[in-house]
Amino acid sequence: MEQNELISLLSKYDTPEISDALDNLHINGACLGIAPRSRNTEITGTVFTVKFEPVSPGVSAKAGDYIDDVPEGSVVVIDNGGIDNCTVWGDILTLVAGMRKLAGTVIDGSCRDLSVISSSDYPVFSKHAFMRTGKNRVRLASVQENITLSGVTVNPGDFIRADKSGVIVVPKHNIELVLEGSQKIHEVEDKIRSAVIGGMRLDEARRTFKYNQPLR
């Protein structure tokens, strides 16, 4: 399937369904502690990776310049090592990302300017929020190389889905299996909902539709 078709299909499932599909495949993709900061809480797309690293006190480090090279439709995924005492994203980056029609930003670290971002249609997720600049505290280390997002390995071109329940990464070489599993989980849970609304006991509905059996 083409990438745009895969993204469209992935957007039909929420992160709990995708997480269950990943569990059935024994894949770790759930990114603990990263939450939405913007009004728009939906992200689906492929990953453009960015990594920052700390600098020693007294070492000069400018703001990271990479945003103008991110392809349209990409999700900016930033590994700042979960640092909570300085930011790597704010209102200007949000403005530029929206103008460039990026799909969203996910940060293992901090963002700031929540007075703007919280009402933005451009989706931003982060582990922390803190106002202090990252200049002279962290520096851009790499783009489009493998990174870690809250303990999950992320490669350029992997798929990412985010919603109000959190952020999940789907390895690109597993995407079709995960989509298949997510669809099966969605169908089973729909059947259970219909059954209990119709009067069936929940435990009976779970047995009937094999809820506790891995769907492969």
Name all domains of the chain by residue range, CATH numbers in brackets: 28-169 (3.50.30.40)
Distance CA 102, CA 90 (A): 15
Q: Residue 10, SS3? A: helix
pLDDT of res. 215: 57
Low-confidence stretches of the chain (pLDDT beneath 50): none
pTM, entire model: 0.94
pLDDT of res. 58: 87
And the tokens for 8?
A: 């469209």
pLDDT single digits (tens) 109-132:
999 999 999 999 999 999 999 999
pLDDT of res. 212: 83
Average pLDDT, the chain: 96
